[in-house]
Chain A
Amino acid sequence: MFRLKGGEGMFFRRSKQKKVDKHQQMEEERSPLSSNLDKNIEKIRLLYEDCSDVVFRSFLIGGKVKAELIYIDGLSNMEEIDTSVLSPLMQKMVEKRSSPSNWMEEKLSVAKITEVNTVEECIENTLMGNPILLVEHESKGLALGLARAEKRAVEEPASESVVKGSREGFVETISVNIALIRRRIKSPQLKMKSMKIGRRSQTEVAVVYMKGLANETLIEEVNNRLQRIDIDGVLESQYIEELIEDHPSSPFPQILSTERPDSCAASLLEGKVVILVDGTPFAMITPTTFLALLQASEDYYQRFVLSTAIRWLRYVYLLLSLLLPSLYVAVLSFHQEMIPTKLMMSIATSRENVPFPAIVEALIMEITFEALREAGVRLPKQIGSAVSIVGALVIGQAAIQAGIVSPPMVMVVALTGIASFTIPRYNLGATLRVLRFPMMFLAGTLGILGVMLGILIILTHLCTLRSFGVPYLSPIAPWNKSAMKDVLIRAPWWQLSERPRLTGEFNQYRQGPNQKPGPRKGGE
């Protein structure tokens, strides 16, 4: 075993070295464009060898000057290329030698144009969908902002639906996502820093924050952590999440993923930093606390009394989803005297024919439930209903009649399943569902003592966690009384005048004083 360990370590080390070598290869010298058009084309063609989707279009500007338009089929707006680039340039009369910037101003009716000087820039721009215009005798090219990616329409967020509130959800295109946030915060203080992550995927990642609200050191920290990422490709925000977390091996999510632009905007206004990743309809919000994961956006869109009640319901079900099966197992195997006699009798009656001990019964049912849930998510929609029918039979009546499980256990499992879905963030619910299993083992071996032990371990772990420097359990630990307004209750907006305290304390107030409405306040 130990030998194996040593061997593995060696293997990792070697592969690490390889990575570094490759990285050095990637950062080769950049070759500038020459004034010879054919040479430039040749270089680009060589890089784009066997790429049938790259189009090289040669034409003459005004019938005289040789030029080349390079773009990737499907990434650029073809109509725009025809009407705004090709036709005006081909009809243009070239009087004298003028620099591209000159005739660019005159003729090219394209909104966004940037100059490119190297072959690599050309490649980058074409890959982003910007057609490159190269002209004979020019050592500069033009990248035309005519990218047009196929994008999904803005739809209702599937994983965080609300009854009252915005129906817009993020899409896969980062520019749309940024616009969705910008639409909600129309302020020049809303800043975004864009960068490319992924050696090969070159995924665009944007760090969005409110200047003056977000702590400068926090922004710097986010940037630093993002910049040290060196990965092949970023296909989903989870890739980045796992690479910038404070505690990579913790089961608890330390970054909040949301599909809702309004949640993002709210977090930005609280001074948090949002990370958007191209190709992912989820934004990441940092720093995040445990309690923030229990706050749904709808809490703030409903009357505060109702929201407070729902929040408490959620807290109760949070505990249930973690503890209910283990408590049931513990009580049934060790502490039969702890439940009321009449309940005990009815449980005893129903368990009389069950051949397994409580812990085995609980494991069978919980695992079955998890399998059904997983199957329900993975299966094509057409077959999904079949799963639910079979599932209802398997973990329902049939299992009871077969004498494998007892009815109370089915109830416990069903309640636990429902409880885990009352948590607004799917990933936290999933974490608790996983932690339930060790808790059940502890309960089955040590009884209530084991359950308490498990709770203590989890609590201790939660206390050690930090998300970008913010204690995970804040504002409970460390205690902050004024923040309880948004934890124990959801105070009405006219009382939530202080921003939650994150890393620093500045720009404390988010609204004017005396916001409580009343019949005569308006006329005062």
Chain B
Amino acid sequence: MRMMLYLIGLTCTFLLTGCWDQTEMSNTALIKAAGVDRIDDNTIELTVEIAVPQTQSQSGGQGQSQGSGGVTQVLIRSSKGKTIPDALEKLQEQLPRKIFWGHSEVIVINEKLAKEGIRDSIDYFIRDPRPRIRSYVFVAKESAKEIFSLKTPSYSPSEILWDIAESQTLMHVTLVDLLQRLVIGDVFLPMVEKLPPAKGKKSNETFAYIYGTAIFKKDKMIGSIDDELTRGVKWIQNDVKESNITFLPEGAKGYISMNLQEADVKLIPKIKGDKWELTIKTRTRAEIVLNETNIQVKSPKEINSLEKQLVKQWEGRLKRAVQKVQKEQKADILGFGEAFERKYPKKWRKVKDKWDDIYPQVEVKYDIDTTILRIGAGTATEAR
């Protein structure tokens, strides 16, 4: 009997305290992506992509509905405000459901805003515990609103961006990566732009894709590099699992393409007196995937010569990336500072403040070696 009373009491306490943060899914507006644009000096515009879990299309007010044949449709809403939370508050007024950040996976920042510095806009996403810190962050050439308003087939614009980032072909930076980079040095983010629409399509019937990398000095964007240089940077960052290199071998007609595998790139720093030196060392294996030339890759001699040419090609790519990033943009996104800090922690502490001056002066050396492991599955198509 007493037990029963206890039980009843216990159950009541659950009912009293339990449900305070309970949210039913049918009362939430799942934000899939958020974008920030600069309107004028005091105003930003926040655009969100909200999942609409219904098969019928829906439209209204300022937002546009995104037709899709898949399970979810999205709704684009935007609102202006002094800061992101300010804009959010206004956004909530337009929405019948409660905003839910738990599934936001994409954050797009307009280039204009990025050039002013991203620290302020990113701060909300980091400070508020609700948004995911594993969201991918992008810098958009167009306004974020424009990117989200694209009419994409079967997937929403943010889903396409997320999938492209996930494939890791070019840069992919999550919020948490960004945080770490902001602490240790300079930042880079993938750049996205609208793919020019196909002939006969309206200007918004296309999608956005990653085409390059935005380079930041501290948190301010200072420039961008294209896809080719981005690959070079990714190599140096040791972030490439597999990649192709196509080049014109000496004295041959046609191209040869190789697939580079198992690359492990090491940055080996060295301080000799005042001279700071860094060796980019890598050993890799290559596989011939295309051979348009008349070289018959059978004898070790030929393979040796191809290996040497491959090294040269590759070194050239890395050099171009280093030249651009280190000498021109002077942004330490390659992890040089970190490498020095690890090897020479004491010296690093002394020169930490002067690193910006030292960095462009660091001499970069290359120690690249590669082995052509496989010449291909079938060689019958080879020119004789």
Binding-face segment, A189-197, A328-336, A492-500: A328-336
- Which partner residue on chain B sits nearest A355 by CB separation? B26
- The A contact surface, by secondary structure, is helix
Task: Assess whether B28 is interfacial by the CB under 8 Å rule.
Answer: yes
How far, in whole Å, are A337 and B28 apart by their CA atoms in the complex? 12
Shortest CB–CB separation between residue A436 and chain B, in angstroms? Answer: 16
Which chain A positions have C-beta within 8 A of B15? 445
Which chain B positions have C-beta within 8 A of A336? 23, 25, 28, 30, 100, 102-103
Q: How many residues of B contact A (CB 8 A)?
A: 29
Task: Assess whether A344 is interfacial by the CB under 8 Å rule.
Answer: yes
Which residue, of B1, B22, B28, has the highest number of chain A Cβ atoms within 10 A?
B22
Which chain B positions have C-beta within 8 A of A346? 71
How far, in whole Å, are A333 and B22 apart by their CA atoms in the complex? 5
Which residue, of B2, B72, B105, has the highest number of chain A Cβ atoms within 10 A?
B72
Question: Contact between A345 and B72 (Cβ–Cβ < 8 Å)?
Answer: yes
Task: Assess whether A352 is interfacial by the CB under 8 Å rule.
Answer: yes
Task: Assess whether B36 is interfacial by the CB under 8 Å rule.
Answer: no
Q: Which of A310-338 contact B (CB under 8 A)?
A: 332-334, 336-337
Question: Contact between A352 and B71 (Cβ–Cβ < 8 Å)?
Answer: no
Question: Contact between B25 and A341 (Cβ–Cβ < 8 Å)?
Answer: no
Task: Assess whether B151 is interfacial by the CB under 8 Å rule.
Answer: no
Which chain B positions have C-beta within 8 A of A347? 25
- Which partner residue on chain B sits nearest A336 by CB separation? B102
- Which partner residue on chain B sits nearest A348 by CB separation? B53
- Which partner residue on chain B sits nearest A342 by CB separation? B71
1/0 per residue, CB under 8 A from B, across A396-436: the answer is 00000000000000000000000000000000000000000
Which residue in A345, A442, A445 is a CB contact (below 8 Å) of B53?
A345
- Which partner residue on chain A sits nearest B132 by CB separation? A337
- Which partner residue on chain A sits nearest B19 by CB separation? A445
Question: Contact between B105 and A352 (Cβ–Cβ < 8 Å)?
Answer: no
Which residue in B14, B18, B22, B25 is a CB contact (below 8 Å) of A348?
B25
Task: Assess whether B233 is interfacial by the CB under 8 Å rule.
Answer: no
Q: Which of A242-267 contact B (CB under 8 A)?
A: none
Q: Which of A441-480 contact B (CB under 8 A)?
A: 441-442, 444-447, 450
Question: Contact between B72 and A349 (Cβ–Cβ < 8 Å)?
Answer: yes
> Given that A345-B72, A446-B18 are contacting pairs, would A351 and B102 also be in contact in the complex, using a CB cutoff of 8 Å?
no
How far, in whole Å, are A18 and B201 apart by their CA atoms in the complex? 96
How far, in whole Å, are A341 and B30 apart by their CA atoms in the complex? 10
How far, in whole Å, are A441 and B11 apart by their CA atoms in the complex? 9
1/0 per residue, CB under 8 A from A, across B223-257: the answer is 00000000000000000000000000000000000
Task: Assess whether B258 is interfacial by the CB under 8 Å rule.
Answer: no
Task: Assess whether B299 is interfacial by the CB under 8 Å rule.
Answer: no
Which residue in B19, B51, B55, B100 is a CB contact (below 8 Å) of A345?
B51
Which chain B positions have C-beta within 8 A of A351? 25-26, 53
Shortest CB–CB separation between residue B12 and chain A, in angstroms? Answer: 11
How far, in whole Å, are A336 and B51 apart by their CA atoms in the complex? 14
Q: How many residues of A contact B (CB 8 A)?
A: 28
Q: Which of B195-228 contact A (CB under 8 A)?
A: none
Which residue in A1, A5, A358, A445 is a CB contact (below 8 Å) of B24?
A358
Which chain B positions have C-beta within 8 A of A179? none
How far, in whole Å, are A354 and B27 apart by their CA atoms in the complex? 12
Task: Assess whether A357 is interfacial by the CB under 8 Å rule.
Answer: yes
1/0 per residue, CB under 8 A from A, across B75-98: the answer is 000000000000000000000000
How far, in whole Å, are A347 and B25 apart by their CA atoms in the complex? 9
Which residue, of B1, B25, B28, has the highest number of chain A Cβ atoms within 10 A?
B25
Shortest CB–CB separation between residue B4 and chain A, in angstroms? Answer: 9
Which chain A positions have C-beta within 8 A of B14? 441-442, 445-446, 450
Q: Which of B119-155 contact A (CB under 8 A)?
A: 132
Task: Assess whether B54 is interfacial by the CB under 8 Å rule.
Answer: yes
1/0 per residue, CB under 8 A from A, across B1-38: the answer is 11001000001001100110111111010101000000
Q: Which of B40-82 contact A (CB under 8 A)?
A: 51, 53-55, 71-72
> Given that A345-B53, A349-B54, A445-B15 are contacting pairs, would A334 and B71 also be in contact in the complex, using a CB cutoff of 8 Å?
no
Task: Assess whether A124 is interfacial by the CB under 8 Å rule.
Answer: no
Question: Contact between B23 and A344 (Cβ–Cβ < 8 Å)?
Answer: no
Which chain B positions have C-beta within 8 A of A8? 1
> Given that A341-B32, A341-B103, A346-B71 are contacting pairs, would A352 and B23 also be in contact in the complex, using a CB cutoff of 8 Å?
no
- 18 sampled A-B residue pairs with Cβ under 8 A: A332-B24, A333-B23, A333-B24, A334-B21, A337-B100, A337-B103, A341-B32, A341-B103, A345-B71, A345-B103, A348-B26, A348-B30, A351-B25, A358-B25, A441-B11, A445-B15, A445-B18, A445-B19
The 3 nearest A-B residue pairs measured at CB: A337-B102, A445-B18, A348-B53
Q: Which residues of A contact B (CB under 8 A)?
A: 1, 4-5, 8, 332-334, 336-337, 341, 344-349, 351-352, 354, 357-358, 441-442, 444-447, 450
